[in-house]
Amino acid sequence: MYNAALLDTGSNMTDDLNNSPFLKACRGEQTDYTPIWLNRQAGRYMPEYHEVKGNTPSLDFFKTPELAAKATCDAQRILGVDAAIMFADLLPILEPMGLHLDYIPDVGPNFDNPVRTNDDIDALLVDPASETMPYISEVIRLIRSGLPANIPLIGFGGAPFTLASYAVEGKGSRNYVFVKQMMYGDTGAWHTLMEKITDTVIDYMNYQIESGVQAVQLFDSWVGCLSPLDYVQYVMPHSERLMKAICGSVPVIHFGTGNPALAGLMADAGGDVLALDWRTPLLQTWNQTGVKAVQGNLDPIVLCSTQDAVKQKARELLDEVDNRPGHIFNLGHGIIPETPVDNVKALVDFVHEYSRR
């Protein structure tokens, strides 16, 4: 469980951050209004993002502290959200393990040496993130210096199942054929792979925490392809170990998508805040799991509609929650590139104004 007393970034800043609506909501405390931040709030839908990125290749963009920090701070400033999230990607953590990562235009991330055999798993390296990804610490330092004193910075990483799935499939997948072949057909190899990736994520998350983030979010973006029984057998032990190793000093947000039936199990696996996608009934799930804080869960495609529709759907969600302490407003997944920026601004303003009433 998160202990606010462990947050130490300088006394005045610590007070400002601890009293921020976002961190208070993470602790399940009452706030003056519902805090809001958005998955993928710095991204391709925003002109300022394209100005910063220019022709820089995606992997270089993530690894250039000045560019990643500016993208992060620009999004927070432009939208007026209550927290910033470090601009990065889930997958560069796999590169130091030995995977060859590239971002192919119109295709997305790709590994040309996917993990398919026991020898592939044995060859994976588990080295300290401070040595393999030193740019992360500098990104966090620059972001923290560029944010207002009362705006928390969220770090993040991929959860073990999602990272393992990318490593095994080598790219995006609809059916997860290679993943499930290993998971069902060679359970020992699967758990060895998950153990290595979990070790790497634990180190990476703690590295971000030590570098100065005020919270972290674990994205299990692909876990929805599993049944509850599969989650318990093949994923939950590793997620539990991860959560136990990183919980305590800052709030941990546990986010999964695609299968509402997994929400209770993910809550049991750990974390301080349970983040829900739009297919999961927020209040019902909150009551059933008994977690102290939830995050979500507006359908991101609503933002592609009219501003009236955006406000109406946000109003419905806020009315359902009815100012219950511990709610962080967010989308059920990330903002898509086609989203009008003005609609995003309208959402943030509406959530602030309506929840104050």
Give the C-alpha distances (Å, rounded to integers) separating 167 from 15, 114, 164, 314, 340: 41, 5, 5, 36, 33
Asked if residue 337 lies in contact with residue 299, where contact means CB atoms within 8 angstroms, the answer is no
Question: What H or E segment, with its residue span, contains residue 356?
Answer: helix 341-356
Asked if residue 84 lies in contact with residue 154, where contact means CB atoms within 8 angstroms, the answer is yes
Quote the strand ranges of the chain, DSSP E.
84-85, 101-104, 108-111, 153-158, 215-220, 252-256, 273-275, 294-295, 327-328
pLDDT tens string 165-205: 999 999 999 999 999 999 999 999 999 999 999 999 999 99
Give all domains of the chain, ordered by start, each with its CATH number: 4-356 (3.20.20.210)
Residue 330 three-state SS: coil
Mean pLDDT of 61-74: 97
Band of residue 247 on the pLDDT scale cut at 50, 70, 90: confident
Distance, CA of 265 to chain centre: 18
User: How many C-beta atoms surround the C-beta of residue 295 within 10 A?
Assistant: 27
Give me the pLDDT at residue 10, please.
Answer: 47
Give me the pLDDT at residue 149, please.
Answer: 96
Q: Is the pLDDT of residue 9 over 50?
A: no
Average pLDDT, the chain: 95
User: Residues in the chain, how many?
Assistant: 357
Scan for tokens 């610590």, then name that residue: 14
Q: Is the pLDDT of residue 11 over 50?
A: no
Give me the pLDDT at residue 12, please.
Answer: 52
Band of residue 107 on the pLDDT scale cut at 50, 70, 90: confident
Asked if residue 185 lies in contact with residue 54, where contact means CB atoms within 8 angstroms, the answer is no
User: Residue 43 and residue 20: Cα distance in Å, rounded?
Assistant: 24
Asked if residue 339 lies in contact with residue 305, where contact means CB atoms within 8 angstroms, the answer is no
Mean pLDDT of 76-101: 97
Sort strands 327-328 and 153-158 into parallel, antiparallel or unpaired: unpaired
User: Residue 271 and residue 291: Cα distance in Å, rounded?
Assistant: 9
Residue 158 in tokens:
């991929």
The angle formed by the CA atoms of residues 299, 104 and 137, to the nearest 5 degrees, is 75
pLDDT tens string 198-235: 999 999 999 999 999 999 999 999 999 999 999 999 99
Asked if residue 167 lies in contact with residue 207, where contact means CB atoms within 8 angstroms, the answer is no
Residue 296 in tokens:
């979500």
User: How many C-beta atoms surround the C-beta of residue 112 within 10 A?
Assistant: 10
- 340 burial level (CB within 10 Å; 0-12, 13-18, 19+): middle
Q: Is the pLDDT of residue 23 over 60?
A: yes
Sort strands 108-111 and 101-104 into parallel, antiparallel or unpaired: antiparallel
Give me the pLDDT at residue 99, please.
Answer: 98
Band of residue 264 on the pLDDT scale cut at 50, 70, 90: very high
Scan for tokens 């609609």, then name that residue: 343
